[in-house]
Amino acid sequence: MTTATTAVPTTRVPSDGRDNRAGWIFSTPFLVLYALFLIGPVLVGLVLSFFNTATVKNDLGAFVGLDNYLDILSSVDFWKSMWHSTLFTLLTVPFLVVLPLLAAVFAARITRNRWFYRVAFFAPYVVPSASVALIFSYIYSPEIGLLTKAFTSVGLPDPGFLSATKGAWFAVTLMTVWWTFGFNFVLYTAALQEIPEETYEAAAIDGASAWQQIRSITVPLLRPTIGLVLMLQVLASLKVFDQIYILLGGGPNGSTRPVIEYIYDTGFTTYRAGYAAAGTMVYFLILVLVSAVWMITSRRRDARA
Amino acid sequence: MRGDFTRRNFLAMGGGLSLAGLLSACGSPVVTSLTGGQPATADVIFWHLFGGGDGENMGTMVDTVQKATGHSVESTLLSWGNPYYTKLALAASSQRPPDVAISHLSRLSTLAQAGLLTPYEETGLAELGVTQDKFSAPAWQKATIDGSTYAIPLDTHPFVLYYNVDLAGKAGLLNDAGDGLTDISGEERFLEALTEMKKVTGKYGVTMANTADPSTAWRWFMTVYGGLVKDQGIVSDSGTKVTVDDEAMQETFAFLQKITVGQKLAPPNATGAVATQQFSGGEAGFLFDGVWQITVYSGVKMPDGSTLNLNMVPFPALLGDEACAYADSHSLVIPRASGRSAERAGYAAQFIQGLLGQSALWAQGGHIPAWLPTVESAAFKELSPQKNYVDAAANAVYDPDGWYTGAGSDFQNTVGAIIISALAGQMTPKSATSQMKSALKKLADTNAPVS
C-alpha cells in the first residue's frame, strides 16, 4: 500500500510576479518528477490502450480502436476483481479509521512512557509488505500455523485462512489492519497535539468526565483529520495488490484477486499490454471520480485539513 | 585537497573510488543495467524453475558441467509457473536475459513468436553434435514453431499410471512374468481392473488429485480425450479456432464420471495431499499422476511396515484404439541478446551440450530423457521403473498450440476448473462440454498479443 501526501490548502496571499517565479523555481524538481513518473506514464498508457500491444515486443502492435475497452467492460473477470478491491475496501476502512483513532486518543492520555506506545503502534508499518505477507503466511498455514492452531485447539473448525474464500478475506483483513494501522495512528496523534491543553483544563474544571472530554472536544476537533484519514484509506485500500498477491496469489481460485492483480496478470502473464492499459485507464477513472466526489463534498464542509 | 583531510573529502574520495570500482569492469551489473546487455557475472548465466529433488539433480548436473567445461555458471532458481515466464519474457524483451534458461515446451510459442529466442540454426549446437536425430521425435516437433526450432528438449514428462505391485498381484492384475500389468486396455477392461483393485483395498481402486489442482485434472482429461481424437481436437490455428469434437468430449466426460461418482472407483474430490496419503496408505492401488511424483513415493512405508512397491506404466488405450500420454517437456533455450559475444554464445552451447550428457541423472526425477543416446544406453535400460514407461514419450500429446496455453497457464486453470466440477459430478457430460467450448471460444476470440 502506498500513501499519498496531501497538499494543505492555505489562504492565498496576493503576490507580484517575482514571488511567483520563486514559487515555480522551488516547485520545479517536483514538477519534473511528476511529469516524468505520473503524467508521462498515464499518457503512454492512454495511447497503448488503443493498440493490441504485446508486453514482450517493442512495437505498438495493431491499432484496435476501442476493442480493448469493450473487452474490459464486458469482462466478467475484470468486474469480479473490481468487486474484490471494493470488498477489501469495505472490510478494511472501518477498522483502519476507527481503531487508530481510539488508540491515538488512549496513547495521548498516557503520561508515562508515551514514546513506547507510539513506537509500538507505528512499528509494523515500516515492515515491507513482502515480509509481512510471508510472516503471516506462516501464522495462517494449515495444520501448523499459529492462528490455525489457536482455532483448532479450542475445538473450532479450521477457517482455511489460505484455502477458503471467507477465511482468506478474514486473513488478509486482519493482516492489513495490523500492518497499516500505524500510519493513521501517526496522523491522529499529530492532530491531537494541535488541540490546546487549556480546552481540556477548562472542561475538567467544568466537571467534564474523561469520556465527555473525548466526545465533545477531541472528536469534533479531529473531524478534518478523520475526513482526511478516511479518504486516504479508501484510496489506499482500493489500490491493494501486494499483500493479497503474496499471501494468496489472488486465490483460492481467483476469489480474492484485486483489480490491480487482474491488470498485472493480463499485462505481464499473458503479455497483453494494450488490454491491461485499457483496464488501468478504467480503474484510474474510477479512482479520480472517487477523489473528485470527496473533494467536492469536503469543500462544501469547508474542512480545515 | 590542500592536505586538510576532512571527513567530507574522505567520503568524496571513498565514493569516487567505489564508483570507479563499479564502473571499471565493463561487464559489471551497474554498467550493463545502464547500457543494456547482460551482467557478465559468470561465463554462463542460467535460469531454471526446479525446486525439491529436481532442483538438487539440476544442481549436481550444473556442477559436473562446470568442472568438465571449465566455464563458471551462475544458476538462479525462480519460482515455478507464471511468474517464471513473466521474468524470462521481460528480461529477454528488455535485452538483459540469461544465457540459457529452462522453458516448458508448452510455453514456448509466445516466447518464440515474440522473437525472444535464438533459433537452433544460430546456436552452433549442430557443430557440437546436438542434432535432431538424437532427440525424441514428438518433443523435437513441439520445439519447432513455424518451421524453425527454438528449444532443445531435455525430457518428456508424461502423465502415467502408477500401481501398487503387491495390491495388483492380489487383484490378479499382474502378467505371467510378474513384471507388468495384464492387458487392461479398452474402457470395459480398464474399469474392471479398477473394480478388482477396489475389492482388494476395500476403499478405492484409484486415486488422483482431482480437486484444487486444475492442471492434474486437465492432464487426465487430455490423456483420455487425446486417445479419441486426432490432432488434439481442442483449438487450432495457434489457438484462434475451437475444434472440439462434441461427441468425443461428451464420451470422455462420461468415462471420467463413471470412475468417480458413477462407480465410486475413485474419490470424487481429493487434493494432492489426500491422493498421496491414499496411495501410500494402500487405500487405492492405482494412481493417476505425472512421472515427476516418483520422488514422493520412493521408500514410502506402508501402514503394515513394508516399503511401498510401485511400478509406473504408460496408460493403455482407453476409449480409442491408440494409447495416448498427455505430456509436457522441459527444454533449454538461449534467449536472444544483441550484446552477447560469440565467445559467450559458444559457452551457452557447450553448457547445453553438457547438460544433455547428464540426462541419466535427470531421469532420476522420473523424467524420460529426450536425449536418445541416454535412453539407448545400457545404464538407463537398468533404471527401474523408468524403463517401463519410456514408451510414453513416443505417444506424447502436448497442450494445444496457442498464446494462452501451457504449464500453469490461465487456460489450464480455466478448463481444469470445468473438469474438476465434472469429476465431482456437479454437471452432466453435455453441459461440461458446452462449458468447455464457451470457455475456449472466449480465449480463441481474444486478440493474441503475438502471432
Give me the residue spans of the domains in chain B. 7-153+330-369, 158-327+400-444
CB neighbours of residue A128 within 10 Å:
10
Q: Is the pLDDT of residue A18 over 70?
A: no
**What sign does the dihedral B384-B387-B392-B398 (CA atoms) show?**
positive
What is the pLDDT confidence band of residue B377, given thresholds at 50, 70 and 90?
very high
Q: Is the pLDDT of residue B13 over 90?
A: no
Average pLDDT over residues B116-135: 95
**What pLDDT does residue B195 have?**
97
**What pLDDT does residue A2 have?**
46
> pLDDT tens digit string along A54-87?
988 888 888 999 999 999 999 999 999 999 999 9
Contact assignment for B114 to A52 by CB distance below 8 Å: no
**What pLDDT does residue B32 have?**
59
Q: Which residues of A touch B85 (CB under 8 A)?
A: 269
- For residue A252, say if its preceding peptide bond is cis, omega within 30 degrees of 0: yes
Residue to substitute from A67, A137, A257, A271, interface B, most B β-carbons within 10 A: A271
Q: Is the pLDDT of residue B14 over 80?
A: no
Q: How far is B356 from chain A (nearest CA, A)?
A: 29
Q: What angle do CA B42, B45, B49 make, to 5 degrees?
A: 140
User: Does B158-327+400-444 carry CATH code 1.10.287.80?
Assistant: no
> pLDDT tens digit string along B177-207?
878 899 999 999 999 999 999 999 999 999 9
Contact assignment for A56 to B92 by CB distance below 8 Å: yes
> pLDDT tens digit string along B201-260?
999 999 999 887 899 999 999 999 999 997 778 998 888 999 999 999 999 999 999 999
B241-242 vs B148-149, strand pairing mode: unpaired
By the 8 A CB rule, do A248 and A168 touch? Answer: yes
Q: pLDDT > 90: what percent of chain B?
A: 71
What single-letter DSSP state applies at residue A35? I
**What pLDDT does residue B2 have?**
47
Q: What is the SS3 string spanning A274-286?
A: HHHHHHHHHHHHH
Average pLDDT over residues A165-175: 93
From the list B116, B410, B413, the residue facing A56 with the nearest CB is: B116
What is the pLDDT confidence band of residue A3, given thresholds at 50, 70 and 90?
very low
CA dihedral of B4, B5, B6, B10, whole degrees rounded to 10: 150
Average pLDDT over residues B20-38: 56
> pLDDT tens digit string along A31-52?
999 999 999 999 999 999 999 9
3-state secondary structure of B337: coil
Q: What pTM value is reported for the model?
A: 0.83
A75 touches chain B (CB under 8 A): no
Nearest CA in chain A to B413: A253
Alpha-carbon distance A116 to B271, whole Å?
47
DSSP string computed for B151-194: -EE-EEEEEEEEEEHHHHHHTT-B-TTSSSB----SHHHHHHHH
Contact assignment for B89 to A56 by CB distance below 8 Å: yes
Per-state percent for chain A, helix, strand, coil, to nearest 5: 70, 0, 25
B115 touches chain A (CB under 8 A): yes
Average pLDDT over residues B52-56: 91
By the 8 A CB rule, do B420 and B211 touch? Answer: yes
Q: In CATH, which of 1.20.1440.60, 2.40.33.10, 2.30.110.10, 3.40.190.10 is domain B7-153+330-369? A: 3.40.190.10
What is the pLDDT confidence band of residue A160, given thresholds at 50, 70 and 90?
confident
Q: Is B451 exposed, middle or buried (0-12, 13-18, 19+ CB in 10 A)?
A: middle
Q: How far is A67 from chain B (nearest CA, A)?
A: 9
A69 touches chain B (CB under 8 A): no
Q: How far is A251 from chain B (nearest CA, A)?
A: 11
3-state secondary structure of B233: coil
**What pLDDT does residue A209 have?**
87
Q: How far is A56 from chain B (nearest CA, A)?
A: 5
CB neighbours of residue A20 within 10 Å:
10
Contact assignment for A56 to B93 by CB distance below 8 Å: yes
Least confidently predicted of A13-22, B110-119, B306-315: A13-22
Q: Is the pLDDT of residue B3 over 50?
A: no
Q: How far is B413 from chain A (nearest CA, A)?
A: 8
Q: Is the pLDDT of residue B5 over 60?
A: no
Q: How far is A210 from chain B (nearest CA, A)?
A: 54
B273 touches chain A (CB under 8 A): no
From the list A54, A265, A269, the residue facing B450 with the nearest CB is: A54
Q: How far is A276 from chain B (nearest CA, A)?
A: 11
Contact assignment for A265 to B410 by CB distance below 8 Å: yes
> pLDDT tens digit string along B259-318?
999 999 999 888 888 999 999 999 999 999 999 999 899 888 888 888 999 999 999 999
From the list B93, B115, B404, the residue facing A270 with the nearest CB is: B404
**What pLDDT does residue A57 have?**
84
Contact assignment for B86 to A269 by CB distance below 8 Å: yes
> pLDDT tens digit string along A246-276?
998 877 778 899 999 999 999 998 899 999 9
A63 touches chain B (CB under 8 A): no
Q: Is the pLDDT of residue A302 over 70?
A: no
Alpha helices in A123-272 (DSSP H): 129-140, 146-153, 165-194, 197-205, 210-213, 219-238, 242-248, 259-264
**What pLDDT does residue A110 have?**
84
Grid coordinates standing for A293?
466526489
What is the pLDDT confidence band of residue B448, given thresholds at 50, 70 and 90?
confident
Rounded to a whole number, what is the largest CA-CA distance in chain A? 76
Q: Residue A75's closest CA among A297, A259, A294? A: A259
Q: How far is B82 from chain A (nearest CA, A)?
A: 6
Q: Which residues of B touch A69 (CB under 8 A)?
A: none
Grid coordinates standing for B9?
573529502
Alpha carbon separation from A169 to A138, A256, B157, B416, B417 (Å, rounded): 16, 7, 37, 24, 21
From the list A52, A53, A271, the residue facing B89 with the nearest CB is: A271
Nearest CA in chain B to A76: B442
**What pLDDT does residue A158 have?**
81
By the 8 A CB rule, do B106 and B84 touch? Answer: no
What is the pLDDT confidence band of residue A148, given thresholds at 50, 70 and 90?
confident
A272 touches chain B (CB under 8 A): yes
Residue to substitute from A50, A51, A53, A56, interface B, most B β-carbons within 10 A: A56
**What pLDDT does residue B268 have?**
85
A268 touches chain B (CB under 8 A): yes
**What pLDDT does residue A12 have?**
58
Alpha-carbon distance A94 to B38, whole Å?
49
Q: pLDDT > 70: what percent of chain B?
A: 91
Nearest CA in chain B to A72: B446
**What pLDDT does residue B36 have?**
58
B396-397 vs B148-149, strand pairing mode: unpaired
Nearest CA in chain A to B414: A253
